[in-house]
Structure 1
Amino acid sequence: MPRPLPRARLRSTAAVFTTLTALTATSLVTGPSVAGPFSAAPCALERTDAHHSEGLDTWNAAYPRPTRALDAVMIFLSFPDSAPLTTPAELTADHFPATSRYFAQASYGRFALRPHPLRHWIRMPRPSTAYAIQRDWTASHRAAYLRDALASADGQVDFSRYDVVYFVADPHAPGVDSDATKVVNLEAPLRADGADIRRVVTVFENHPPDRLVLAHETGHVFDLPDLYHRPTDGKGDWDTHVGDWDLMGSQFGRAPDLFGWHKWKLGWLEERQVVCVPGGEPTRLTLESLSAGPDVPVTGAAGAPVFGSGRGTKLAVVRTGPDSVLAFEARGAVGNDRSACRQGVLVYRVRSGAESGGGPVQVIDAHPRTEACWENSVYPALADAPVDVGERFTVPGENVRVEVEGRTPSGAWTVKISPLR
């Protein structure tokens, strides 16, 4: 669902640290085990009944899993009360190839989203104003829109050929609300061409649209939750949970690559790329930048670009409860994160029992007294959240410490994680 565009605000830059203390970049603490044969399975939270649960021990078969090429049809809907001012080709270019490119990079090439846009408008039977389109749509108006859209398109589209359906409304029609874009999940699926349609992406974007908005909505098609906090009065910050750090938090984020937890859930990380840190003893490991892959260079220790394998360790996890973990991943200014405000090891909590929009993921700020990139971050308070080289951070309330000891010649991050007694 589209998000309000963040506004620039004046930010404090006071450098007061509480849980963060400086280390020299070359300091080492002897004794920790080196991550190797640890199984990731003990840290795989169980999927719950929560909408878009962050549990990943099993896959919800009601959703297509993006571990293969998936085909998406784009259907362009016009209305009797408005003549379109754009063409389907122009609206397609608003979203593709950017959306496919985003997923190709996020999945390390393991997933391809193949768009199949129609080249013409399909006329809806009623004026745009008849559907009362808005962000919090009534069920009756939404159902009427979907029924009319499906009936109008069915003679020209073989829905059995597609895994994802985008209904794109004429952005200049008077009844179209650009704040209403969302995924509609259907308890009783629609039926067309012998296929059950269980969810539809209804697109009501301006032209040009919000950046990466279609990628965000497509994430819901793959069972990913909203990570933003929606204020009850509609005012205030939406981005207090994860800031810039995941597309499902904000399509405007400076570092919108999906969290490593989401990549594990979607099947883009192999189990050997996830380390479940055992309790009771420190563990030293090397984390490859999350966005780095075979075709995405990172900056090595000598300052030169280096192409990583994309197959190294991407995610470290500490189990903290029956339905909760702490996750650690290295975020660098590469790939989908190329505009990241700060680099380092990002720490966040995951709760499998929390609903979409209810804070299932919360980034933990390693620099709680400072902010960064206030001019274009969606939430500057979290823009400098990662732990940088030479820093030690104890996670509040969890009794777990992370130390970032340095960088390898290939640009990976050497890290020590210590569950404290």
Structure 2
Amino acid sequence: MTALAATSLAAGPSNAVPPLTPCALKRTDAHHSVGLDTWNTAYPRPDRQLDAVMVFLSFPDSVPRTTPTELTADHFPATSRFFERASYGKFTLRPHAVRSWLPMPSASTAYAIRRDWNSARRSAYLRDALAASDPRVDFSRYDIVYFVADPDAPGVNSDATKVVNLESPLRADGTDIRRVVTVFERHPPDRLVLAHETGHVFDLPDLYHRPPDDRGDWDTYVGDWDLMGSQFGLAPDLFAWHKWKLGWLESRQVSCVQAAGGEGTRLALEPLGASGPAVTGAAGAGGAGGAMEGAAGVAAGGGTKLAVVRTGRDSALAFEVRGRVGNDGAVCSQGVLVYRVRSEAVSGGGPIEVLDAHPDTAACPEDSVYPPLADAPVGLGESFTVPGEDVRVEVESRTVAGAWGVRISTG
């Protein structure tokens, strides 16, 4: 068995997704490509209820100081609630926890658990974990598998928590298990860490930058603005682009902005996290010329969430509103967030990069994972020209319904 942690299963088989706008990038061979014209069927798509099993593993060199019930509560219902809000109720993650410790045959130290894990030791761990749990678990019933290690065992390293993709799947109960989430978190764990790892199960990439020798800042690509960048982010909701890929946004909620002179294209963008009913009687955006897209009175969560300008075969600019609602309740600054999308970039290689509308300032130094990007959004009354592109965004108004009036000029 060959196990590759977040490096295998790149392109894989695909299913077509519903008709997309011209600004939708094609999925490439890059691992966890953010292209979204097709869905990689090697991964479950979270557009329905999925069932996950949590298996708790103990070791002969340690007596657990916690219970499976306590460790389950470390992650649920918080993880399910995150996805419920992020998906606007379109996806439900239902956990099923084994209520007792299942003994592994070898000491925790024997597996040499670490972030960059030796593949032979990792494979031995997975084989032993499956053998220990198969008599108690019918794996054919589950879409996702979490192997949770005793956090107090001496050989357990929390940096090793990750998704392991398998070139040769494990086999149990007539089911191929192609990926496993190996959980080595402390008690209590990092905030939203299981949601981050579960994102990989749905073919989402790492958005952080791993510096050489692990020295330096990991959060320079997206800062606080997406769970796949940091589980500690002040605004950890998934980017609208990711929600489009996962099937949580419909194409009618995405505005593809074509080259337009004069007054540009005006539209109303709903905050990404909004999902409640909108208030009627919204005020129009200021300025003349060009119709505003997205009428007032449309239920929030169903209006326009994302604007996209195509900049190349494999690249685009994305515009979305981030505010203090939903998963972004602790956001540092509100406004229109602008980011670059590259479908040919691999996981960890900058497939999404936030563009800073205020490059000379920072914000929330005590709480942000990367203060230079904490004030990245374009605020009300401000404008921003994307460096290297002939694209300009102006934030002209906010409606009583909460939508933001935006004008995007290209060419």
Q: TM-score, with normalisation over the residues of structure 1?
A: 0.88
Deviation at 1:295, TM superposition (A): 7.4
Aligned to 1:343: 334
* Aligned residues of 1:40 and 1:275 also touching (Cα < 8 A): no
**1:368 and 2:359 aligned:** yes
Q: Which of the residues 267, 272, 276 maps onto 1:285?
A: 267
Supply the distance in 1 between the matched residues of 2:365 and 2:92 (Cα, whole angstroms).
34
Residue 366 of structure 1 aligns to a residue whose secondary structure is coil
2:261 matched to 1:266?
Answer: no
Distance 2:197 2:213 in 1: 23
1:324 paired residue number? 315
Q: Which amino acid aligns with 2:395?
A: V
User: What is the distance in 1 between the residues matched to 2:365 and 2:252?
Assistant: 37
Matched, 1:51 2:31: yes
Q: Which residue of 2 aligns with 1:24?
A: none
CA distance in 2, matches of 1:368, 1:110: 36
> Please, which runs of 5 or more residues in structure 1 have no aligned partner?
2-38
Q: For 1:296 and 1:161, how far apart are their aligned partners in 2?
A: 39
Residue 394 of structure 1 contacts residue 400 of structure 1 at CA under 8 Å; is this kept in 2?
A: yes
The 1:43–1:49 alpha-carbon spacing in structure 2 relative to 1, beyond 3 Å, is same
Please name the residue that 1:19 is paired with: none
Deviation per CA, 1:205-248: give whole Å up to 9, x if none: 00000000000000000000000000012111100000000000
Are the counterparts in 1 of residues 278 and 401 from structure 2 also a CA contact under 8 Å? Answer: no
- Relative to structure 1, the CA distance from residue 191 to residue 349 in structure 2 (aligned partners, 3 Å threshold; closer, same or farther) is same
2:167 alignment counterpart: 187
Pick one of 82, 91, 94 that aligns with 2:62. Answer: 82
Give the secondary structure class of the aligned counterpart of 2:340. Answer: strand
Going from structure 1 to structure 2, the CA distance change for 1:296 and 1:132 (only over 3 Å counts) comes to farther
- Contact kept? 2:270, 2:300, Cα under 8 Å: no
What aligned pairs does 1:31-46 form with structure 2 within 5 A after superposition? 40-46=20-26
Partner SS for 2:38: coil
**Distance in 2 separating the partners of 1:308 and 1:376:** 33
- Is 1:108–1:294's contact at 8 Å kept on the other side of the alignment? no
2:256 is matched with: 276
Structure 2 counterpart of 1:172, from 148, 152, 158? 152
What residue identity is the alignment partner of 1:137? W
Picking from 44, 62, 66, the partner of 2:46 is 66
Using the alignment, how far apart are the partners of 1:139 and 1:402 within structure 2? 47
TM-score (norm 2): 0.90
Match of residue 197, structure 2, among 217, 220, 237: 217
Paired position in structure 1 for 2:399: 408
The amino acid across from 2:68 in the alignment is: P
State how many pairs are aligned.
Answer: 377
1:387 aligned residue (378, 393, 399): 378
**Other structure's SS at 2:101 match:** strand
CA RMSD of aligned residues (A): 1.6
Question: What CA distance in whole angstroms lies between the structure 2 residues aligned with 1:40 and 1:47?
Answer: 13
Alpha-carbon distance, 1:296 to partner? 10
**Residue identity in the other structure for 2:101:** W
Q: CA deviation at 1:307?
A: 11
Aligned to 1:397: 388
Instruction: Find runs of 4+ consecutive structure 1 residues off by over 3 angstroms.
Output: none
Percentage of matched positions with identical amino acids: 74
Q: Judging changes above 3 Å, is the alpha-carbon distance between structure 1 residues 117 and 295 closer, same or farther for their aligned structure 2 residues?
A: farther
Separation of aligned partners in 2, 1:40 and 1:124: 48
Contact 1:124 1:152 survives alignment (8 Å): yes
Cα distance in structure 2, aligned partners of 1:140 and 1:232: 25
Structure 2 equivalent of residue 231 of structure 1: 211
Larger CA deviation: 217-226 vs 278-287: 278-287
Q: Secondary structure at the match of 2:317?
A: strand
Which of 280, 295, 309 matches 2:300?
309
Larger relative contact order (C-alpha < 8 A, sep ≥ 6)? 1
- Tell me the amino acid that sits aligned with residue 216 of structure 2: G
How many Å separate the matches in 2 of 1:75 and 1:296? 42
Q: Which runs of 5+ in 2 are unaligned?
A: 6-18, 284-296
User: 2:278·2:300 contact (CA, 8 Å) conserved in 1?
Assistant: no
